[in-house]
Structure 1
Amino acid sequence: MPTDPEPSVASSDDAGWGELLAPGLRAPLAMVSLGIGLHAFNAFLAATALPFAVSELGGAQWLPWSSTLYLTGSIVAGASTAGFKARFGMRLALVLATLVFLLGSTMAGLAGTMGGVIFGRLLQGLSEGAVLALCYMLISTFFPQRLMARVFGIEAAVWAVSAFGGPVLAGLVTEAISWRAAFLINIPAGLVFLLLAVLTLGSGQENGDLGAGAGSVPAGRLTLLIFGLVMLLATNLTTLDLARHTMIGLAFVAFLLFATVDRQSLQPILPSGAFSITSPVGLGLWLVLLMPLCQAASGVYLVYALKHVWNMGPLTASAIGALTAVSWSLVAVTSAHVSTASARKWLIMTGVLMETCGLGGIALAISHGSLPGLMLALVMTGAAFGLAWAAINQMVLVASSDEDRDRSSALLPTLQSFGYGMGAALAGLVANQAGFSSTASSDVIGKAVASSFLFGFAVMLVAVVIAFGLMRRLRALQ
């Protein structure tokens, strides 16, 4: 690992946007942008459609399951993608993942029960986790370090378009047709991506080492992760305190066993020093985990709260629900030109502090019924991600050793998904404990949802301490 976590990034001041269109970079940039765009659009479409699917099919208590199992699929796929790519190559991996995505979208759109929707979402998660991890691999494989900030800026623009267009499109389609159409609209987009994957990548594009163990799926370790997440989800199905505490304990034991076994594996999922408190990579990965974990309640309950507390329709609720993503993307685009290590440290610290304040503001706004306060807090939370997220990702990638960079590239979106999945399960536990149900009054729903955001605020205080530790570590290495 280099002693300076950002040895050559400072030279990115000299990197022009036009360089991304140079021969050999155009096709990878298009693939990365389309893959991330497909993931982003579907995320916003689903967040808008699911509360209205619940209104037709019932099962409000299954909302955390829909989010967490979707993200569990993303985790399983993302953790297996480095080996899968090494075995089959980039093009075949993308083709197979897109076919699974098309199947999952079809099943969710045609489902007659919430169980069918959840299974379709699980398949979508499997496919999107693989596509997202492969796109991150394309970034670290094809683009020099001095262009990475520009690439992340382009992807932020993709998220900005998706953040605005996804909810608006979902709201319009849901109001004009039904929530089912919001899932089925993924099919033509997926077919376009499938065609581009076939046309732009070679049949053996970027195969890695096919030696012993390459391409294998770490089934035992992934089982531990899945077991832990399911245990957290299952706490929502019992009213017995002893059972809940036992399930939470089993979940965290499973996560610790995963990390222990992975360190001893010849084909680890985690890069060296992952979650160490003495290295920039380890501390950075903690932030990649905790920032989405603390904000995960938004994806589960925000549109539902807007619908039931403020009596909003699909279009209005989806537009307000998108404020976080829109502000994230717009701030990320404007901060993409930041190239110095010292400036990036400032972005990380400021972003972590802003998310903490934003989550506390969301909890207060919902509990007091203040829509303007809620909108302001949502914008603040999104801006926090826009400031910090690309800087954290770039710092982790550059600080990783050459042999770990592929694992780090695949781990970043996978860990983000794990954070959202774990956060959704924990938010569901907190909300259900506070009285959330499909038959609860609007006042109870508001207080329950506010409690889930207050939980995120409390955990973000830990992230603040970690961010300060990261700043000290980076200064010590300079």
Structure 2
Amino acid sequence: MSGSVNKKEEASWGMLLHGKNSLKSLALAGGVALHAINVYITITTLPSVVRDIGGLNLYAWNTTVFILASILFSAVTSRLLSKFAPRNSYLLATLCFLVGSVICATAPSMQILLFGRFVQGAGGGMLLALAYSLVRVMFPQPLWSRAMALMSSMWGISTLLGPALGGIFAEYDIWRGAFWSILVVGIPYAILLFTILPTENVTDNIVAKSPLPYQQLFLLMFAVLSISIGGLYNITLYHVLSFLLAIIFILLLIHIDKKSNDGLFPKGTFSFSAPLAPIYLTMALLGISVQTEVFVPYFLQTIHNITPLLSGYLAALVGAGWSFSAIISSSSQQYTAQRLMRFGPIINFSAIVILGLFISNSVTLPYGQIIVICVALFFTGAGIGMAWPHYLTRVLHVSQGQEAQKAATSITTIQLFSAAVGASISGTVVNMAGLTDPGGIIGAKNAAHWLFIIFAVTPLIAFFTAQIVVSRTSKN
């Protein structure tokens, strides 16, 4: 940690973005940016991909397999840091990410593309987890919130680059070029890492000696896969059974992790009387809610006849709203931060309901239909972003000792797992609602309506769990 420095000065953006801290910030935020740019490239190009190589019924799997790999490999991040130190750990993650991008760029079928997405996800998961894990050891505590906000802001920057790269290539029917373009960003980043990051170990060796929680990791994976596989069939019984099976896997995970002396999650994660449980639950519910974003370009192109480039930028408004509000809110005082944590989820809920009505054309306006959609997309992300840095900082504050590193890594696991569950459920919902049968404009309208209306439930629940988080924060 840092020495004795004026607290107000420590907490300024200047302290984070100047001197040695600026190089550290560039390394950590750069990995998040690389991951985020890829997310928006993929979202923007997917409609063109399925028109070229098929696989509309596997549309959501592009997100699911990416995130599953991210979960599995983010779990080994602490051990990577202990064994290889920051520089080599980051280089390994970046190499894995770039190899996956090459596979995606050369994929002749959706199945091969999904394999490439898995390899990409492995690298992306490590990049995200490395960033969160190193915040608490590379920056003084007053800068944690700023550092978290900086990493969130990378999603905002990526909303400019990702849709541009993906959209331009999709416009000219050369979507493969979008994946090749990732190397243009990734290779210079790898060179930068080699010159910036330390080669010495900065983490506790206790983490390296502890066994990997294989059982919990595979139960997480099975829970997500059961929902995804059930969603491939237009049979209600299969959907019900797949959700029941997922619940069983999650309950088994909780049972095993609570009994384990060295679990996947820090102690108290599954006890609502402990401070971590309501924070993680709120974050998970909000993480699920934004997975509707995956289908936004498809709906806009199919229902509203919007071009690939523009639809990519409109979908990216979710990330832009998240990033903008995260930066603005990161410097909030405690009272304001608590209000943002309380009311962010209800803003997210309201925006998703509006999207369900207007993207599907269930409600139509003579003028301004797309403007309403744009505003709703922005506030879907803003409702989360205004509260997110404060949830993250709260996790770090309530975690002590050996559990602190695990809590930091678990932020990524919770975020990725919720995204994987959200992507799996979204795939099931749209397939049930007619995306592929009857398909076309009619199927897209019905799928859009039900997707957003059903997903609005998650931020509504998060609104109530957030009240618990804030009430406990106030007492402390």
Which TM-score band applies after superposition, normalised by the shorter structure? over 0.9
State the alpha-carbon separation in 1 of the partners of residues 32 and 387 from structure 2: 19
Shift of 1:419: 0.8
- Superposition pairs of residues 5-44 of structure 1, within 5 angstroms: 15-21=11-17, 23-44=19-40
Match of 2:53 in 1: 57
What do residues 11-61 of structure 1 show as CA deviations (whole Å, max 9, x unaligned)? 557622221245542332111121111111111111111121011111111
- 8 Å contact kept, 1:85–1:208: no
1:282 Cα deviation (Å)?
Answer: 1.4
Task: Name the SS for the 1:132 alignment partner.
Answer: helix
Distance 1:444 1:371 in 2: 20
- Residue aligning to 2:213: 218
Give 1:119's aligned residue: 115
Answer yes or no: is 1:356 the counterpart of 2:349: yes
CA distance in 1, matches of 2:152, 2:244: 37
Residues 203-212 or 385-394, more deviating: 203-212
1:398 is aligned to: 397
Query: Taking every aligned residue pair, what percent have the same amino acid on both sides?
Result: 27
User: Cα deviations across residues 338-384 of structure 1 (Å, max 9, x unaligned)?
Assistant: 1x322211111121110111111111112325423221211111211
Using structure 2 for the length normalisation, give the TM-score.
Answer: 0.93
Contact 2:318 2:378 survives alignment (8 Å): yes
Within the alignment, does 1:470 sit opposite 2:469 as a pair? Answer: yes
CA distance in 1, matches of 2:206, 2:239: 44
Matched residue of 1:89: which SS? helix
Contact 1:324 1:382 in 2 (8 A): yes
Return the alpha-carbon distance in structure 1 between the equivalents of residues 61 and 252 of structure 2. Answer: 23
Structure 2 match to 1:7: none
TM-score by length of 1: 0.92
| Contact persistence 1:213–1:267 (CA under 8 A) | no
Q: Which has the higher mean CA deviation after the structures are superposed, 320-329 or 123-132?
A: 320-329
> What does 1:11-410 align with in structure 2 at a 5 Å threshold?
15-21=11-17, 23-176=19-172, 178-209=174-205, 213-214=209-210, 216-299=211-294, 301-338=295-332, 340-368=333-361, 370-410=369-409
Structure 1 residue 144, shift from structure 2 partner: 1.4
SS in 2 for 1:279: coil
Per-residue deviation, 1:103: 0.9
Alignment match, 1:3 = none
1:5 equivalent in structure 2: none
Looking at structure 2, the residues matched to 104 and 211 of structure 1 have their Cα atoms a distance apart, in angstroms, of: 28
Check conservation: 2:303, 2:360, Cα contact below 8 A: no
Mapped partners of 2:200, 2:250: distance in 1: 35
> Take 1:254 and 1:12, find their aligned partners in 2: how far apart are those partners?
47
Q: Give the number of equivalent residue pairs.
A: 465
Structure 1 gap segments, 5+ residues each? 1-9
How far apart are the structure 1 equivalents of 2:131 and 2:314? Answer: 29
The CA deviation at 1:439 is 5.7
Residue type of the partner of 1:251?
A
Distance change (3 Å), C-alpha of 1:474 and 1:16: closer
Higher relative contact order (CA closer than 8 Å, sequence separation 6+): 1
